[in-house]
Amino acid sequence: MAVTETLESLLRDSFPDASELAVEDRTGGGDHFQVTIASGRFEGLSLVEQHRLVYEALAAPLGDGSIHELRIKTRGQA
């Protein structure tokens, strides 16, 4: 499975309620990603706490080096 799909599936598991969830391979090289998520899990949390939840969901690919760069955009449920 390509990394983009792996990330998307990990994020879907962690944010099953997401009204928006997108993983974009920014460079086409399969290691620079933009992740955009809208989820109720983010409500009431600071941006640091919101991004921490995303890092937790992606701990495995972050740890094994398959993500070189990760950009994150989070917001509560619209």
- What's the closest the beta carbon of residue 71 comes to other proteins, in angstroms? 6
Helix (H) or strand (E) holding 15: none
Identify which of residues 22 and 52 has a Cβ nearer to other proteins in the complex: 52
- What's the closest the beta carbon of residue 40 comes to other proteins, in angstroms? 20
Residue of 17, 20, 56 whose CA lies nearest to 38: 20
Interface ranges with other proteins (CB under 8 A): 47-48, 51-52, 55, 59, 62-63, 69-73
Identify which of residues 41 and 50 has a Cβ nearer to other proteins in the complex: 50
* Angstrom distance (rounded) from CA 47 to CA 40: 14
In the block, tokens 């760069």 appear at 69
